[in-house]
Amino acid sequence: MCEPRGKRLRRGGSYNRRVPIELEENVALRALNAFGVDARARYFARVRSAADLAMLEDDPRLRGVPRLILGGGSNILFTRDVDGLVVKVDVPGMREVGDDGRAWFVEVGAGENWHATVQRLLDADRPGLENLALIPGQAGAAPIQNIGAYGLELAERFHALAAWDVEARDVVTMSPADCNFGYRDSAFKSTFAGRRVILSVTLALPKRWTPVTGYADVANELKARGIAAPTARDIFDAVCAIRRRKLPDPAAIGNAGSFFKNPIVTREQHHALLAHHPSLVSYPMPGGRFKLAAGWLIDAAGLKGATRGRAGVYEKQALVLVNRGGATGAEILALAREVQDKVREKFGVLLEPEPVIV
Ligand code: EPU
């Protein structure tokens, strides 16, 4: 069952390797963003450690040059070239670093692929992330938008992280409170935007695992499979099946998952909307507010499956905008604006984009 500490989970290098860093110029970003749009970076560097980041800070060619931090590129829309330095975070590694009686702590390099991490932990008898299977992107990006799906958010499995602080020029450790997690939100989107580069994330995986099956899609999928007492592997398989049915694979159709957050409205707004649209999909939130299913709003505004040029609204899930082949970032952004306008006209609700728009 449980391997000696770190045995099966140890891989990759140290976070402090010091090898000369290569600075490339005029680099194509198409293969590095899940929308698959064309954009170029004036400067480009891959970093594998804090030492690499320190070296970039010292490079005279980069004095005063703005930086953009890139992880797996699965939550970003490039609408123009980047006249600055794109830093691709490639910090490798995974190792078990301890436990506190209730949870195992596993430190994962920011550059590790998220889904591969979920899979490896499951294989090593460290379940707890199965509801977050198949989310595209890297482990280091997970805290930035507090990734969530099928009844679970990263914040519930987060212990700490290590980040490079650009001003202090040093590595800092951050607790859950420091990260200030919210729905698809964290301090990395506000207070620390552009100021901290995540190097590794330490996950807390519960020693007494219990299934998270409250989300209707998961409960229905398990029922359809005749599973009453699911294992973590059953949930992993169910979530993968649901996602494969509903969400386009970025390797086949360019997309960044949900393009908008599900908007949160007051009780009064919710009441008024429901009076006019009885089939509105919504979920009660703490404090009396309601979260609306943005996919339902876009669908009800008649935009599901819409095509504008080479950009589109995905046929099977209206919350996802797609690159139907060769779309520019500007085309996708124009479609996003149209979606926002139509939803605001029909429902009086503003949809806020989820990805970073450059
Ligand atoms: N709906 C429609 N029409 C559509 C799409 C959805 O009527 O075209 C309705 C569905 O029938 C359902 C409701 O809207 O009743 C919610 O849909 P779904 O369960 O697919 O979830 P979602 O709210 O659209 C959120 C996350 C997803 C996550 C799923 C499952 C956000 C912005 N999105 O989507 O996350 O996978 O729940 O937990 O919170 C992502 O962030 O990239 C992402 C894919």
Binding pocket residue ranges, ligand 1, CB within 6 Å: 149-150, 215, 217, 246-247, 257-258, 261-262, 281, 293, 295-296, 299, 304, 317-319, 354
* Residue 58, C-beta contacts closer than 8 angstroms, at least 6 positions apart: none
Q: Examine the residue annotation and report whether 338 is marked as an active-site residue of this protein.
A: no
pLDDT of residue 21: 85
- Start-to-end Cα distance in the chain: 46
The rounded distance, in Å, linking the Cα atoms of 255 and 232 is 28
Residue at token pair 């506000």:
190
The pLDDT value recorded for residue 13 is 46
**pTM over the 0.75 mark:** yes
Give me ligand 1 centre to Cα 25, in Å: 39
Residue 18: its pLDDT value, please? 56
Provide the pLDDT for residue 19: 62
Domain boundary assignment for the chain: 24-89, 216-246, 254-357
In sequence order, the 6+-apart residues with CB closer than 8 A to the CB of 228 are 222
Task: Please tell me the distance from the alpha carbon of residue 7 to that of residue 223, in angstroms, as a whole number.
Answer: 36
In the reported structure, the alpha carbon of residue 318 is separated from the centroid of ligand 1 by a whole-number distance in angstroms of 9
Distance 319 CA to ligand 1 centre (A): 7
The pick from 319, 322, 351 for probing ligand 1's pocket by mutation, whose C-beta has the most ligand atoms within 8 angstroms, reads: 319
Which of 150, 183, 258, 349 is the best mutation target for the ligand 1 pocket, counting ligand atoms within 8 Å of the beta carbon and taking the most? 258
Which CATH number fits the domain 254-357, given the four candidates 3.10.20.740, 1.20.1270.360, 3.90.78.10, 3.10.450.710? 3.90.78.10
67 is catalytic: no
Q: Which member of 157, 258, 282, 331 is catalytic?
A: 258
Q: How far apart are CA 79 and CA 65, in angstroms?
A: 19
- 295 CA distance to ligand 1 centroid (A)? 6
Distance CA 64, CA 52 (A): 18
Q: What are phi and psi of 131, to 5 degrees?
A: -70, -20
Active site residue: 184, 221, 243, 331, which one?
A: 184
Task: Confirm whether 3 is a catalytic residue.
Answer: no
Atom 28, ligand 1: which residue's CA is nearest? Answer: 149
Domain 24-89 has CATH 3.30.43.10: yes
pLDDT tens digit at each of 358 positions of the chain: 233 333 445 554 444 555 678 999 999 999 999 999 999 999 999 999 999 999 998 999 999 999 999 999 999 999 999 999 999 999 999 999 999 999 999 999 999 999 999 999 999 999 999 999 999 999 999 999 999 999 999 999 999 999 999 999 999 999 999 999 999 999 999 999 989 999 999 999 999 999 999 999 999 999 999 999 999 999 999 999 999 999 999 999 999 999 999 999 999 999 999 999 999 999 999 899 999 999 999 999 999 999 999 999 999 999 999 999 999 999 999 999 999 999 999 999 999 999 999 9
Q: Find the 322 Cα to ligand 1 centroid distance in Å.
A: 15
- 260 with 294: CB under 8 angstroms? yes
